[in-house]
Amino acid sequence: MKKWGFLLLSCLGLTSVYMGPLSEPEVKIQNHVQSENGIAEGADTQEIEITEDQIYQGDLLLVNSEYPVHQESIRSDIVNLSANNELAQGYVLLDSDIYLSEDIAHTFSEMVAAAKKDGLRHFAITSGFRGFDEQSVLYQDMGSDYALPAGYSEHNLGLSLDVGSTQMKMANAPEGKWIEKNAWKYGFILRYPENKTDITGIEYEPWHIRYVGFPHSAIMKSKNFVLEEYLEYLKEEKTFSARVNGEKYEISYYPVTKRTTIPVPRDLRYEISGNNIDGVIVTVFPDAE
């Protein structure tokens, strides 16, 4: 069965982190005592206002049979990959009508270039972004066993893509094994792993990867979380720090009502993403110095 943070300060584009031959992230979680405003005590912060529509924007949106894609969730930088040769390097395209977020395509190309250094040269993108109309046609043609209704597929965001091998089925291909071990370094996750179908509601799809951003991909890999589990974990913990391969990140979840004010750091780079349910996640990145 098949089934798009919105605010990024002091940074251009997406963050991908290549960490050499490591196949597993080194992650250490430290829970914080929270102040009344919900952020870790001692932080130098300022208050900003978050509106309800921001729940539906960002890289950590949960899309499944319960939480559909909103119009404001769709990435604004969707491009035709075959018309942008600089984006389609190191892999082949199944056809000439494959679309994807431009930023995500850049990050995927970086990942494929790293895989090439490990001897893997047979990647293909078989599907990327689909508009609601295209998804509706696919659902009608293939039925509920192989497709999801329009608005309930991650492909409607622009953050997900189906990756194949030109040599064999992805479940058996070296490319599939490499992605399963290394995609987290570039902010991607294997969205529908084999042992989580009872949580995702989707059968094992070794070809379907989803961008969630770093360090979230590393934490999810370390804890063996799918996106449903990770977002629930964020709501339970509320605020914590994650030291990922020696770099410290601060992550906080805030529920959002009609008008919500949240604290953000004054001098550090941060991202804000909605969860497509009821709140936003603030990710504070390590001091560049």
Q: Which domain holds residue 191?
A: 7-13+24-284
Give the residue from 175, 8, 233 showing the smallest Cα distance to 103. Answer: 8
Calpha distance 204→119 (Å, rounded): 26
Is-above-0.85 flag for pTM? yes
CATH number at residue 204: 3.30.1380.10
Averaged pLDDT for residues 167-186:
96
Averaged pLDDT for residues 247-267:
93
Question: Residue 4: pLDDT band by 50, 70, 90 thresholds?
Answer: very low
For residue 225 the two structure tokens come to 């979380």
229 is catalytic: no
At residue 269, does pLDDT exceed 80?
yes
Quote the pLDDT of residue 31. Answer: 81
Domain membership flag for residue 97: yes
- Pick the catalytic residue from 110, 205, 250, 271: 205
Give tens-digit pLDDT for 64-91.
999 999 999 999 999 999 999 889 889 9
At residue 277, does pLDDT exceed 90?
yes
Give tens-digit pLDDT for 223-246.
999 999 999 999 999 999 999 999
Domain membership flag for residue 1: no
Q: CA-based angle 26:28:30, to the nearest 5?
A: 165
Calpha distance 82→254 (Å, rounded): 40
Domain membership flag for residue 195: yes
Torsion, Cα of 132, 137, 143, 144 (10° steps): 0
Give tens-digit pLDDT for 147-168.
778 888 999 999 999 999 999 9
Domain membership flag for residue 289: no
Domain membership flag for residue 18: no
If you write DSSP's letter for every residue of 173-190 in order, what string do you get?
SHHHHHHHHHGGGGTEEE
Domain membership flag for residue 2: no
Question: Residue 6: pLDDT band by 50, 70, 90 thresholds?
Answer: very low
Domain membership flag for residue 19: no
Give tens-digit pLDDT for 16-51.
554 555 668 889 998 865 544 445 556 688 999 999
Strands 78-80 and 259-265: unpaired
Contacts of 66 (CB under 8 A, 6+ apart): none
Quote the pLDDT of residue 243. Answer: 95
Q: Is the dihedral of CA 194, 199, 202, 208 positive or negative?
A: negative
Q: State the total domains in the chain.
A: 1
Calpha distance 22→207 (Å, rounded): 22
DSSP state of 286: P
Domain membership flag for residue 28: yes
